[in-house]
Amino acid sequence: MARADSGSALCGTCGGIIGVRSASYCSNACRQRAYRDRQKTSWTGESAIGGMSTQLSSFLGRAEELVELRRLLRTARLLTLTGPPGVGKTRLAVELAKQEERSRRCDVTLVDLAAADGDLSAMAVPDDDRERLLVVDNCEHLLDTCIPVLATLLLRHPKLRILATSRELLRVPGEVVHAMTGLTLPATDRITDHLRADAVRLFVDRARAVVPGLRLTEDNARVIGAICTELAGLPLAIELAARLAQTFPLTEVRDNLDEHLCALTGGWRTAHPRHQSWHQAMTWSYELLTPAQRSMFRRISVLPGGVLAEVAAAVATDGTETTSVVLDQLMALEAKSLITAHRSGRLRMPAPIRHYAHERLTEASEQKQTYDRLADWLTGLAEPLGRACATPPAVLHRLAAERPTIEHVLTRLHDDDRQLLLAGTVFLVDLLERRPSHRTRAMLRSALDNTRVDSPYREIALRGATVLAAWFCDLTEMRRLAAQWTASDLLGRLLLGLASTRRVVLSPTTGAVDADAVTTAGWLDGVPWHERSWEELALAAELADRLLPVLRAGGPSARLRGTIRAAAVIALSGGEHELADRHCTDMLRSDGDLPDDDFAHAVTCLGLSAAGIGRLGRAIQLLSYAEAAGSPLLDRPWWRDRVEAVRMAAVGVLPRETLVSAAAAGRALDRAQALAFALEHRQQGPTETARDDVLSQRERDVVALLAEGFTNRQIAARMHLSVRTVETHVRNIRTELGLRSRAHVAAWSARHGSGDATTRVMRLAH
């Protein structure tokens, strides 16, 4: 054997003397030979983890994770990759080990404990001073036996680093954990986001293996994105689902993914059996659970909206287990990566895992019992909505968080009165979030059709169905449902619900109308409502007429004040100024101790209605008081615009001295004086001008033709005027009368002129 002197070294391959101590090999040939030897001998456990199939399939995504993991490996002696089944722990570990070996920093050895069958001899490390990386795959299979061995190896070999994969933490001193989640999903529906999403790229790559012509296009991007999202970005599930593209259209794969998940069996034949189907992958984890953990795992599968300890206790136990026991079971499932913490504060089970758990729930014949428990818990949570006149905000917000679970339960309840309360709850959540839908409407219909007519929960479902019928402009259905109402407080809610709908009804003559904001007795506090079509306003007024006598019989109440207030605004919006005047006066008389906001609201409405019936001096005095009192209504555009229109009309009609005097008198009133002045609404003030005297004869002629439904061009032809002149007349008429639209001018003409007023107004409005 050659000997090296103090200035030379030995070749690492042939043992020959190298003249330069810093070199490792005597020639390039020896360097290449050493590289080939490492490739042959380093991967001792490769066949056990399906090395051929793993190497032949491309590795996609997780580029940033690889960079971070290589950084961690430089400082951590034990790095554990954890995550749910099918998340790609093994594949990432192999890729990371390959990069480490290519860097020539260390020798790499792979050991698969799933194939070890209790034999841990493959984990032996030679007693030398070389840098080594030991990759131990599937530690959860032999967790109790492998952990002492790993701890011993780390103590005996200072230059040894261990990369472990496990579905739960090893909990060894010095362990650094990297928790893996699904691949990145598209952030939006744009195809550029789909092209950047690792989950979509993986699906397309694997689907192209069975459908060579498949490409990501504008047409299929959303479908593929939806599939990957439903599979929570889990690589194994995505790869198995991609192979379905050979048999089914992508839209069918997406629409029937729940059924396909149970039959995802297209894994590589050379892979470990647990990677050949989704069912086998999940069964591997399921069988490692204790009986109590299995029971919890199965039963919380009915919670698509996420898991809280109190809900888990309600559905998974008979009430005898303590909270600590439930928490321990949930923590165990989280430790085994079967449920994960979410930023919402809930524990969530990825959809593919939840489908497997639900399959196990069915096999155990626990479906009916579990869903009954969940329905009971949700019903108890929603009970206050059925009892209270006002919707308790805290309860409603709590139920909004459970909306996915409520909708899921509704698909399982048949001929069950709890459907009514839960479907009504979904409607109230819709109203809270401003997004009523046809889906919610279908839920309410189903609940009403399949339950008892004498159910105590029926009223809440009727309310939702009726308001949604109004929202979608199905007034025939709305009338049919409204006829079934019996509780006066719910009729009040219906009236307010009609006013709260956000669907804007456009006038054929003026286009979109402005929005009003009404705060009404705490029922729909702060909910904006829109000016309605004449037919809808008439229906709202009809409902108010039915409701008010019932509420008046019960004496003064917030419910009565709120309903009168809503009826007054509806009358004001429809140009029924005298009716609005009566409603406002009734509200002032109904309770001698009105809250300040209600009092200011009534006075403001009275001021506008006074202007509408030609009493501009009175209107200015009332509105000046409301402004000085700080009426919150005057901060809202709908009210502010109408008050400004009244002032402009008054400037053109009243003498300046009269206008200034009326405004000053209004600002000088205190509340008691304002109440006395408001209730003197039938006395004609000496400074006021009759409305019939405001218009010239020609303007009256224009109003008459406008009330008959003629357009500006038709009016110009009949009166032998230019269209521009007619437009000027119409603008002046609206200003002088203090009215907002041509329809309101027609309503004014119907009240002050001759003929069938209703016919004229309806003809113009439609």
Range 541-558 average pLDDT: 65
pLDDT at 46: 39
Domains of the chain by residue range: 9-29+31-39, 42-179, 191-279, 289-365, 695-766
Q: What is the pLDDT of residues 275-314, one digit of tens each?
A: 567 888 888 888 889 999 999 999 999 998 888 888 888 8
Question: In one letter, which amino acid is 742?
Answer: R
The CATH number fitting domain 695-766, selected from 3.40.449.10, 1.10.150.130, 3.40.50.300, 1.10.10.10 = 1.10.10.10
166-182 residues labelled b (16+ CB within 10 A) or e (exposed): bbbbbebeebebbebeb
Fold adopted by 289-365: Arc Repressor Mutant, subunit A (1.10.10)
Output the pLDDT for position 275: 58
Euclidean distance between CA atoms 235 and 89, whole angstroms: 10
**What is the mean predicted confidence (pLDDT) over 646-674?**
84
Each residue's pLDDT tens digit, 196-248: 899 999 999 999 988 888 888 988 899 999 999 988 899 988 988 888 888 88
Q: What is the mean pLDDT of residues 617-635?
A: 85
Confidence of residue 430 (pLDDT cuts 50, 70, 90): confident
Long-range contacts of 546-554 (CB under 8 A, 24+ apart): 546/491, 547/488, 547/491, 547/492, 547/495, 550/488, 550/491, 551/488, 551/492, 552/590
Domains 42-179 and 695-766 share a fold: no
DSSP result, 427-494: HHHHHHHT---HHHHHHHHHHHHSS-TT-TTHHHHHHHHHHHHHHTT-HHHHHHHHTT---HHHHHHH
Tell me what percent of the residues of the chain surpass a pLDDT of 70.
72
Indicate the pLDDT class of residue 533, thresholds 50, 70 and 90: very low
The per-residue pLDDT for range 172-196, each reduced to its tens digit, is 888 999 999 999 999 888 888 888 8
Confidence check: pLDDT of 359 > 80: yes
12-22 b/e (C-beta count within 10 Å ≥ 16 → b): ebeeeebeeee
Report whether 490 contacts 466 (CB < 8 A).
no
Fold of 42-179: Rossmann fold (3.40.50)
Q: What is the pLDDT of residue 691?
A: 47
CB-hemisphere CA count at 13 Å for 103?
15
Closest CA to 746 of 547, 509, 544, 438: 509
pLDDT digits 0-9 by tens, 581-595 = 888 888 887 655 777
pTM of the model: 0.59
Whole-angstrom distance, CA of residue 628 vs CA of residue 41: 92
The rounded distance, in Å, linking the Cα atoms of 236 and 234 is 6
At 316-333, the pLDDT tens digits run: 877 666 778 888 999 989
Q: pLDDT band at 379, cuts 50/70/90?
A: very high
Q: Are 82 and 178 in contact (CB under 8 A)?
A: yes
What is the pLDDT at residue 511?
30
Question: What whole-number distance in Å separates Cα of residue 118 and Cα of residue 102?
Answer: 31
Alpha-carbon distance of 250 to 243, in angstroms, equals 11
If 0-12 CB within 10 Å is exposed, 13-18 middle and 19+ buried, where does residue 598 land? Answer: buried
